A and B are shown apart, each in its own frame.
Chain A
Amino acid sequence: MRKTALIITAVWILPLIAPLTGNASSVLDGIEKKMALTRTLTADFVQIKHLAMFETPVEIRGTIHMEKPDKLAWQVQSPIAYSLIMDGETIIKKDGDTGKTNRISIKGNPVMDTAVRQIKLWFSGEYAALEQSYKVAVQSESPVTVRFEPGENNPAGRMLDEILVRFREDEKYISVIRLLETNGDTTEIRFSNIRINRKIPDAIWNPGK
C-alpha cells in the first residue's frame, strides 16, 4: 500500500518538476534578452549587511553605474564616502574624505579577480550560462524571482549558500539581490531610481582627474 502511494505521489510530482526546470531556462533566457538591451545603468542602492564581524547590521547607501561590457562604479555616500571603479583590468579606489585614489591591478590577483567576476556576474544579467554551475529555481514569476544555488563543483559554493535575484516588473534590471553566505552572513542590495541607457559622464570612470 505504501509502495502504491509512493508511485502515485511520484507520478503526480514528476510532471510538476519537469516543467519547472524548463521554465527556469526559458525565464533566464527571457531576462537575459531583456537585460541585453541595457547598455548603461545608473541606480541608487541600499545595501544591508549582516556580518558576524559587526555588532549590528551595516547599512550602506550610494549609487551604482554600469556600462557594458565591463565598467562598473560603486559609489558609497554613507556612512562613509568612497567609491570603487572597475574596468576589465583595474580597480580604482577613491577615498571620499581625502580624495585620494588608489589603483589596484586585478591581473594576477586571484582573490580580487574572483570578487570582481562575482560582482559583474550578478550585476550583468547574463544568467543563462549559470545553469551549468548553479542549480536554478524560479521562485516567483511576477515579479520574477530566481534562486541560484552553487553546484557541487562550483568554487563559489565554498562562500555562498544561495543568491536570490528579484527583477523589476519590466525585467530590464534587478530590483533586489540577496546573498546568503555559508557562515550565515547575508547581504541584501535594493536598487531604486533606476535609469537605463542614459549617458554616464566620463568623470565617473576617471575619479582621479
Chain B
Amino acid sequence: MKQTRFDIVFNFFGRHGKAVCICLFLLTAISLARTSQISFNNDVGSMLPESPAVQRQLSFLQNSDMAGTVAFSIQLPGSGPQSALLERSAAFADELANLSDITEVTTGIETMDMPKARRQVAELLPVLTDPSGHGVFERFETPKEISEQIKQVFVMLTTPGSSFVQSAVKVDPAGWSNPIFDEISRMAGAMGYKVKLAGSRFVDATGTHALVVAGTSVPVTEAEGARRLMKDVEDLSGNYPELDITVISGHRHTISNEAVIKNDIRIAMIFVTAAFILLMLLVFRSYEAILIFVSPFAAILAAVAVASVFYKDLSLFMMGFAAVIAGIAVDYGIHAYTAFKTEGYGKLKQTATLVRIASLTTIGVFVSFYTSSVQDYHELATFSIVSILLCVIVYLFIIPHFWTPATFASGGTRFLFSGKRIPPMPVLAAWITVLVFCGISMKGLTFTTDLSSFDGSSREIREAENRFHDIWGGRNTPGVVVIPGTRNIIPVIQPNQKHDRSGIMYRVPGITREGWKEYEKMSREIVDTVEGFTSLSLVWPSREHRKRNLEAWNAHWTPERIDRIISRVSKAASGYGFSKEAFSPFYEMLRAEQIRADVQMPEILRPFRDRYINDTDSKVQLLGYFDDNLRNLEKAQPILDRYDNAYIVSKKRLSRTIFQGVLSDMKKVSLFSCIWVLGLTLFFLRDTKRAALALVPVVTAVPAVFGVLSFFHIPVTVVVLITLIVILGLSIDYGVFLSSYPDKKERRPAAKAVTFSMLTTGAGTVGLLFASHPAMFVVGVTMVSGVCAAYLSAMFCIPALQEVFGK
C-alpha cells in the first residue's frame, strides 16, 4: 500500500521517538527558563489601536504631571487639633521627600502676599490691557463716574478688612484690573482639587484633612518601579500609625491590575487543570491520555518563549488567554485520541485531515489579528499560532506512538450519542426562537470604550479614590488643549538658562517667543467659543503683545488726558477727605514711565506655571483647560486644526477616538478572518451545502454572545470583539467535524470528540467567570456563552438541518 505524507511523517517520529522526546523535553526546559525571565506589562495603551491620536492622548495622560503624582489625604482620627494634624502631616511630608523615587513634595503654596500681588497686577495694566479694552477708560473719565468710583473706594477703605485692598486701590481705584483677577479666579477654579489654606498648607473645606502631593520619577506604567515606590510609601505610612492616610496614584492601579490579572490567570489555570484531570480520570480512564492534557501547557510555555523573541514586553492580557488557548489546543488531542482509541491508526489518519482543516481555520483566525494595528493582538496571534501548531504536531505524530489501540467507551455521555432519533423540526424551531430572542435582546446592547473598563484595580483602591474625591473633589477631569511650546524657530534661550529681564517664555526650558505667541493666538480664538476655557496666555500675553499694549496705552494716555484725570480725581477725592498723594501711584501707572514690555511675570501667576506648562526633558507643551463636553470639543477642534501639532486631550474624545479606531481595526480583522474561514471551509470541504452546515455554529454563537451580554447588561468592549473572533475559529471546528458525517453512526465518534472539546474549552474559560479583572471576566462570559451556543447548534442543528434539507 502506498505511503501517504502523513504515514511518512508519522513513521519518522516513530522511528526517532527517543530523540524527539529529548528534543521536546529540552524545548520545554529552555522555554521554562526563558519564560521566568520575561517581563510582562499591563499597559492599556498596548490594547488599543495604533492611532496617533489615541497614543498621543494616552501618552499625555500617562506622562503629564497629573499622572505622575502620588496624592495623600491625611487625617488625624478623633477630634485632634488642626495644629497637630498639620504638624504630623508636615513631618510625614518631610520624610516622604527623602524617598529615592520622590522628586518633589507639595503641602501647600508659598504664602502669597495678596495685597502686594494685587498691586503688582494693577501696576502692570499698561502692558496687560489690550487696546480693545480701552473703552473702560473713557467711561471712567467723566466727573460723575470718577466721583462714584472715589465714593466706592471710600466705602472699601472704611470697611473692616480694608487693609487687604488698600495698596491695590491706590494704583487702580477704578478696578480696571478686576477682569484679570476674574480670569485668575477661573484659573484657580480649574486647578482640580478643592483646597483651602491653613496658613500656607492645603486643607479640605472642613479643615480636618491635609493634602500632600508628591511628584515621582517612576512612570505610571512601570510595574517594578511602581511596586518599589508604593512599598516605600507603605513603609513610611506605617511609621505614622496615628494618621489615617489615603493614597491615590496611578501606580497603585498598575500594581493592582498586575496582581489581579495574575490571580485570575492562576484561577483559570487551576480550573483547566482540574477539568483536564477529571476528564482523564472519569471519561478516558487511562493514563495514556495524560500527555494530551500536559501538551498544551508545554506548548504554551514554548509559545510564550517564542513570542518574547519578537516582542519586548509581553502583555498580561495576552497571558489571560493562556487557559483559553490550552482549551482550544487540547481539542485536537481529544479528536486524535478518540479516533485512535475507536478504530486505531486508520481512523487517526482520517481524523488528521479534519484536525488539519480545523486547526488551519483556527490558526487563520489568529493570523487575521496581524492585520490589526494593536501590538497585543499580534502577540496573541503569535502565541496562539505557535501553541496550536506545536499541539497539532504532538497530537498527530508524536504521542499516538505511546497509545495502545483499544475499544473506547466513555461514561456519562451516552445520552448524547444514543441511537434515539431527535425530531428535527422542534430542534430547528427552538434554534430559530433562540436566535430571534438573542436578536431582540441585542437592542439593549451597549458598546463602551471607556478606559475604566480595562481597569481591574482592587475594590480597596477604588474605595480609597472615592473617599479622596469626596473630600478633595477632582472627580471630573477637564479637557486639555495642548500646543508645543517650541515651534518654528530655535529656542531663543537654551533650557535651564536664566535671563535677567525675562518673562516666563524665557525662563521655562525651551519655550520660544513664537511658541507662546501661537499659544496666545490659539487661546484667544478658543476662549470666545469654548465654555470654561482657561489659559495662562489670556492673563500673560506674549512679549510682542505686551509691547503693542504699552504703545497703545501711551497713545491713549496723553499728558493732557492724564492731567485732566488727575484734576478730576483730586477734586472728587478731597470731598471724601483723601490726601493729595492718596492716588499718586494711580497717576504714575497712567504715565507708564517705569514699565517695559519685557517685565517679569507677576507673582500671582507663578503657581499656575506647572499647571499650564508641561515641561519634560524632551519637550515643552503649553496647555489650556476647558469643560470636557462634546459641544466644546466640536467647537475647539476646528481651531486646533489650524495649528501644527496642537491637539486635544479629553476623556470623552479619547473614548470616541478609541471607538473609531477599534471599529476600523475590527473591520479589518473580522473581514480577514471571515474570508479565511469561509475560503478554507469551502476549499477543504469542496461542497457548498456542507460548508454552509459547518457555519451553523458560527452564525449561532455570535448572536448568542451578544444576547447574553445584553441580558446581563455587560457592555461590549474591544475584548469581547477579540474573543468573538477566537470563538469564530472554535465554532467552525465543531461545524467542520459534525457536518463531515451525515450518517448518525459515523458521526458518533466525532460527536464524542466535539463534546469533549467543548468540555475542555469550557474548562479553560469557566475559570474566567470568577475573574476579578473586568477584561478577563468578559472573556469568560463571551467564551462560555459562545462555545455553549456553538456546541449545541453543532450537535443538534446540523443533524436536524441535514435531515430536513437532505444529506
A contact residues around B113 at 8 Å (CB): 155, 158
A contact residues around B168 at 8 Å (CB): 111
Of the listed stretches B183-191, B270-278, B372-380, B492-500, chain A binds B183-191
**Cβ–Cβ contact B114 & A53, under 8 A:** no
Q: Which of B64-115 contact A (CB under 8 A)?
A: 81-83, 111-115
Instruction: Report the Cα distance A49→B154, complex, angstroms.
Output: 12
Instruction: Report the Cα distance A56→B580, complex, angstroms.
Output: 12
The interface residues of chain B, by DSSP majority, are classed as helix
Instruction: Report the Cα distance A82→B118, complex, angstroms.
Output: 25
Determine how close the nearest CB of chain A comes to the CB of B279; give it in whole angstroms: 68
Instruction: Report the Cα distance A159→B111, complex, angstroms.
Output: 13
Determine how close the nearest CB of chain A comes to the CB of B107; give it in whole angstroms: 12
B159 proximal to A (CB < 8 A)? yes
Instruction: Report the Cα distance A74→B156, complex, angstroms.
Output: 12
**Cβ–Cβ contact A109 & B185, under 8 A:** yes
Instruction: Report the Cα distance A55→B579, complex, angstroms.
Output: 5
Determine how close the nearest CB of chain B comes to the CB of A185; give it in whole angstroms: 7
**Cβ–Cβ contact A114 & B114, under 8 A:** yes
**Cβ–Cβ contact A80 & B111, under 8 A:** no
Q: Which single residue of chain B is at the shortest CB-CB distance from A132?
A: B83
**Cβ–Cβ contact A108 & B160, under 8 A:** no
Determine how close the nearest CB of chain A comes to the CB of B356; give it in whole angstroms: 72
B contact residues around A49 at 8 Å (CB): 157-158, 162
**Cβ–Cβ contact B116 & A56, under 8 A:** no
**Cβ–Cβ contact A153 & B200, under 8 A:** yes
A179 proximal to B (CB < 8 A)? yes
B19 proximal to A (CB < 8 A)? no
Instruction: Report the Cα distance A129→B199, complex, angstroms.
Output: 12
B179 proximal to A (CB < 8 A)? no
Instruction: Report the Cα distance A179→B200, complex, angstroms.
Output: 23
The interface residues of chain A, by DSSP majority, are classed as mixed
A43 proximal to B (CB < 8 A)? no
Q: Which single residue of chain A is at the shortest CB-CB distance from B163?
A: A159
A158 is contacted by which of B116, B155, B165, B166 (Cβ under 8 Å)?
B116
- Convert A45-79 into 0s and 1s, putting 1 for each residue whose CB lies closer than 8 angstroms to a CB of B: 00101011111101010000000000000101000
Instruction: Report the Cα distance A56→B199, complex, angstroms.
Output: 35
Determine how close the nearest CB of chain B comes to the CB of A99; give it in whole angstroms: 15
Contact residues on B (Cβ < 8 Å of other chain), bracket:
35 or more
**Cβ–Cβ contact B577 & A115, under 8 A:** no
A133 proximal to B (CB < 8 A)? yes
Determine how close the nearest CB of chain A comes to the CB of B85; give it in whole angstroms: 11
**Cβ–Cβ contact A111 & B164, under 8 A:** yes
Determine how close the nearest CB of chain B comes to the CB of A199; give it in whole angstroms: 24
Q: Which single residue of chain A is at the shortest CB-CB distance from B111?
A: A155
Interface size counted on chain A using CB atoms at 8 A? 41
A181 proximal to B (CB < 8 A)? yes
A76 is contacted by which of B82, B116, B158, B582 (Cβ under 8 Å)?
B158
Instruction: Report the Cα distance A171→B579, complex, angstroms.
Output: 39
A108 is contacted by which of B161, B170, B185, B199 (Cβ under 8 Å)?
B185
**Cβ–Cβ contact B158 & A53, under 8 A:** no
B402 proximal to A (CB < 8 A)? no
Q: Which of B576-593 contact A (CB under 8 A)?
A: 577-579, 582
A53 is contacted by which of B151, B170, B185, B200 (Cβ under 8 Å)?
B170
Are A53 and B161 CB-contacts (below 8 A) given A82-B155, A111-B115, A155-B113? no
B contact residues around A58 at 8 Å (CB): 157-158, 577
B181 proximal to A (CB < 8 A)? yes
A110 proximal to B (CB < 8 A)? yes
Are A74 and B82 CB-contacts (below 8 A) given A93-B155, A114-B114, A154-B199? no
**Cβ–Cβ contact A153 & B111, under 8 A:** yes
Instruction: Report the Cα distance A2→B597, complex, angstroms.
Output: 62
Instruction: Report the Cα distance A74→B112, complex, angstroms.
Output: 28
**Residue picked from B83, B165, B577, most chain A C-beta under 10 Å:** B577
A160 proximal to B (CB < 8 A)? yes
A84 proximal to B (CB < 8 A)? yes
Determine how close the nearest CB of chain B comes to the CB of A149; give it in whole angstroms: 15
Determine how close the nearest CB of chain B comes to the CB of A77; give it in whole angstroms: 12
Are A159 and B164 CB-contacts (below 8 A) given A76-B158, A110-B114, A153-B200? yes
**Cβ–Cβ contact A108 & B155, under 8 A:** no
B contact residues around A10 at 8 Å (CB): none
Determine how close the nearest CB of chain A comes to the CB of B704; give it in whole angstroms: 55
Q: Which of A64-119 contact B (CB under 8 A)?
A: 74, 76, 80, 82, 84, 93, 108-111, 114-116, 118-119
**Cβ–Cβ contact B115 & A159, under 8 A:** yes
Q: Which single residue of chain B is at the shortest CB-CB distance from A157?
A: B111
**Cβ–Cβ contact B157 & A84, under 8 A:** no
A189 proximal to B (CB < 8 A)? yes
**Cβ–Cβ contact A80 & B154, under 8 A:** yes
Determine how close the nearest CB of chain B comes to the CB of A100; give it in whole angstroms: 10
Determine how close the nearest CB of chain A comes to the CB of B262; give it in whole angstroms: 47
Instruction: Report the Cα distance A174→B312, complex, angstroms.
Output: 74
Instruction: Report the Cα distance A117→B82, complex, angstroms.
Output: 17
Instruction: Report the Cα distance A114→B116, complex, angstroms.
Output: 13
A contact residues around B154 at 8 Å (CB): 80
A54 is contacted by which of B159, B186, B579 (Cβ under 8 Å)?
B579
A contact residues around B157 at 8 Å (CB): 49, 51, 53, 58
B contact residues around A40 at 8 Å (CB): none
Determine how close the nearest CB of chain B comes to the CB of A89; give it in whole angstroms: 12
**Cβ–Cβ contact B199 & A133, under 8 A:** yes
Determine how close the nearest CB of chain A comes to the CB of B151; give it in whole angstroms: 7
A115 is contacted by which of B81, B151, B162 (Cβ under 8 Å)?
B162
Q: Which single residue of chain A is at the shortest CB-CB distance from B199?
A: A153
B contact residues around A139 at 8 Å (CB): none
Instruction: Report the Cα distance A6→B150, complex, angstroms.
Output: 58
Are A118 and B164 CB-contacts (below 8 A) given A153-B200, A155-B111? yes
**Cβ–Cβ contact B579 & A185, under 8 A:** no
Are A115 and B164 CB-contacts (below 8 A) given A108-B185, A133-B199, A153-B111? yes
Instruction: Report the Cα distance A181→B189, complex, angstroms.
Output: 31
Enumerate 6 A-B pairs (CB-CB under 8 Å) in ascending A order. Answer: A51-B166, A54-B578, A108-B186, A114-B161, A115-B161, A185-B166
A52-B579, A54-B578, A93-B155 known; 11 new pairs, CB 8 Å cut-off, are A109-B181, A109-B185, A110-B185, A111-B168, A115-B160, A115-B165, A118-B161, A129-B82, A132-B82, A155-B113, A187-B163
Q: Which 8 A-B pairs have the closest CB atoms?
A: A115-B161, A108-B185, A53-B582, A159-B163, A132-B83, A119-B160, A115-B164, A155-B111
Which A residues contact B (CB, under 8 angstroms)? 47, 49, 51-56, 58, 60, 74, 76, 80, 82, 84, 93, 108-111, 114-116, 118-119, 122-123, 129, 132-133, 153-155, 158-160, 179, 181, 185, 187, 189
